[in-house]
Structure 1
Amino acid sequence: MASVNMADVKRLRELTAAGMMDCKKALEESEGDFDRAVELLRLKGAKDVGKREARTASNGLVALKQAGDSAAALLELNCETDFVAKGERFQELAAQVVEHILDTKPADVPALLESVLDGKSVKEHLDEANAALGEKIEIRRFAVLEGGFIGSYMHKTDPQLPPAVGVLVQLDTANAQVAKDIAQHAAAMAPKYLNPDAVPADVIEKERALFEEMTREEGKPEAAIGKIVDGRINGWYKDFTLLEQAFVKDNKKSIAKFANENGVKVEAFVRFKVGQA
């Protein structure tokens, strides 16, 4: 078996994003033939696709596609390592898929996977990337906003990696600076819901039950528990709903007040962070 040098191994790894040992073995097996080594890695990747189903894809990126100021899509595409996340092929795949999402507006992830992109299903594109990159590649979620004025903000948690946080904000009236300010706020403060009315009833019931138990354990008078719990629920809204949160650039006003002062209404928002619910 031919010996290989680390420079060739590194070059093959950079080209294919395969593991270091897999690259070394492929070069040894191909007796230093670089093109043959690439083919061997591709074949190995195709065989290993099924084995990766149970593995965790907790790295990745958030991709954005906008069409003017009134339509935009966000996509969270996951992989297993940041090495693959910063690779050109992975990022090109994300760009292709998020553009396809904005063009076709599929109902959900299963519908997206079945939809056809450049003559193949999106799932087939993912399977090919899975085989070529040697990692589990999956679409976790996506969202599309249309209408009004849509601003966006993409944030890199590491300058060497693609964006890991993406936010869309939909306003009823065009105001690019306000949209950007609110999107940046949402990226930093991670609201879960737009406003109290948007919080599912079962979520509030769970929080209320928790606050009631906590208040009783604190020994508060039974007659006062309801009022105390209501206050704590209102505090929860200020933590987890966008419009009730204190504006990060001026904590004396809420996002709702900031928007109102600028003559706009926040209709909707989407915030994705890689690996986060």
Structure 2
Amino acid sequence: MAAITASMVSELRQATGAGMMDCKAALTETGGDIEAAVDWLRKKGLAKAAKKAGRVAAEGLVGIAVSGTRGVVVEVNSETDFVARNEQFQELVRSVAGVALGGNGDVEALKNAAHPAGGTVQEAVANAVATVGENMTLRRVGLLNVSQGVVASYMHNSVGDGLGKIGVLVALESSGNAEALQAIGRQVAMHIAATNPQGLDGNSIDPAIVERERAVLADKARSSGKPEAVIEKIVESGIKTFFKEVTLVDQPFVHDSSKTVAQAVNEAAKAAGAPIVLKGYLRFGLGEGIEKETSDFAAEVAAAAGGNA
């Protein structure tokens, strides 16, 4: 067998756009034959996938899988919402979430994990790209677990079991009744889906964000003529108000605005029969943070017609 060199891998990557490890595997399987390696990648769907990789995939689905004290949420993107309604794509996302449930929450590890249909998760995504004809990406994965208690979930804009547009997990640590924990956990998850808090509590907010808020509050008080002696008190009061707006535990509970989320969880502990600690949460909103391409349809038509009306 011919030795697989870096230049051979580079040549194959340029020809197909496939990943380095995929190219190395293709060359190994074909004894270093470049043309055969190209065909090998095409059969795997990896070359086709690479050609579509430049297209923005901001649609798709969020998937959730939960088992007792462990839960995961994944985001798999497609180019159009039409594909997201496809049963094959939905089953892909559901299967990826299932694999992620046994993983460590690392997206690269998940891509390289074994897929139930054979091969890796990344190969399963690439095969779907080749079949459907749209770019798809496994964008991210999140994991929550507790030593005892539950991981509750909620899916907003659900299109199927564990699939939708906004997926939320809530980790509650407690020795209390699991059914009662699931009930309050789901309510808190629904709250998170609606309010999208920036953090669990004040300590989880980026200090830079807090300092920026302090600076804004101080400048505002100073510009209104407040004496320096009272500005600090005004700033501290403003920070408390800020935390009530952006931190989960301090937000007014959407199911009963007369109490905070923390108070609602403490009250639920009575029904559960044991104290409840809100350990953490994850909220995945489909496509958040992805810069979507915008286009002027009229301009595209005019350009296609050579600019003539």
How many residues align? The count is 231
- Pick the structure with greater CA Rg: 2
The letter of the residue matching 2:260 is S
Which residue of structure 2 lines up, in the alignment, with residue 188 of structure 1? Answer: 194
1:56 matches 2:56? yes
Other-structure match for 2:37 = none
Write out per-residue CA displacement over residues 56-106 of structure 1, whole angstroms, 9 at most, x where no aligned residue.
Answer: 221111111111x21111111111111011111111111111111111224
- Aligned twin of 1:228: 234
User: Unpaired segments of 5 or more residues in structure 1?
Assistant: 1-41
TM-score, with structure 2 as normaliser: 0.68
Q: Is the 8 A contact 1:153 1:184 kept in 2?
A: yes
- Where does residue 262 of structure 2 map in the other structure? 256
**Conserved 8 A contact 2:60-2:84:** yes
Relative to structure 1, the CA distance from residue 235 to residue 96 in structure 2 (aligned partners, 3 Å threshold; closer, same or farther) is same
Tell me if 1:105 matches 2:111. no
- Deviation of 1:266 (Å): 1.2
Match of 1:4?
A: none
Q: In structure 2, how many angstroms separate the alpha carbons of the residues matched to 1:158 and 1:126?
A: 20
Point out the more displaced range, 80-89 or 257-266.
Answer: 257-266
The amino acid that maps onto 1:114 is N
Please say if 1:166 is aligned against 2:178: no
Amino acid paired to 2:286: V
Report how far residue 222 of structure 1 moved. 3.1
Equivalent pair of 2:99/2:113 in contact (CA under 8 Å): no
Q: Percent identity?
A: 36
Deviation of 1:214 after TM superposition, in Å, equals: 3.9
Cα distance change of structure 1 residues 86 and 220 upon mapping to structure 2, 3 Å threshold:
farther
Kindly provide the CA deviation profile for residues 176-211 of structure 1, in whole angstroms up to 9, marking residues without a partner as x.
221121111111111121111122323322333333
What is the deviation of 1:241? Answer: 1.1
Instruction: Say if 1:56 and 1:253 are closer, same or farther in 2 by CA, change over 3 A.
Output: same
Aligned residue for 2:3? none
User: Where does structure 2 lack aligned partners over 5 or more consecutive residues?
Assistant: 1-41, 270-275, 290-309
Which whole-Å CA distance do the structure 1 matches of 2:113 and 2:96 have between them?
10
Relative to structure 1, is the Cα distance of residues 132 and 218 closer, same or farther in structure 2, using a 3 angstrom cutoff? farther
Q: 1:218 to 1:137 in 2, by over 3 A?
A: farther
Match of 1:273 among 259, 274, 285: 285
User: C-alpha distance in 2, partners of 1:257/1:99?
Assistant: 34
8 Å Cα contact 2:46/2:123 also seen in 1: no
What is the Cα deviation at residue 48 of structure 1? Answer: 4.8
Question: Secondary structure of the equivalent of 1:239?
Answer: helix
- In the superposition, the TM-score normalised over structure 1's length comes to 0.75
Counterparts in 2 of 1:56 and 1:218: CA distance versus 1, 3 Å: farther
Map 1:51-200; keep pairs closer than 5 Å.
51-67=51-67, 69-106=68-105, 108-118=106-116, 119-147=118-146, 148-156=149-157, 162-173=163-174, 174=178, 175-200=181-206
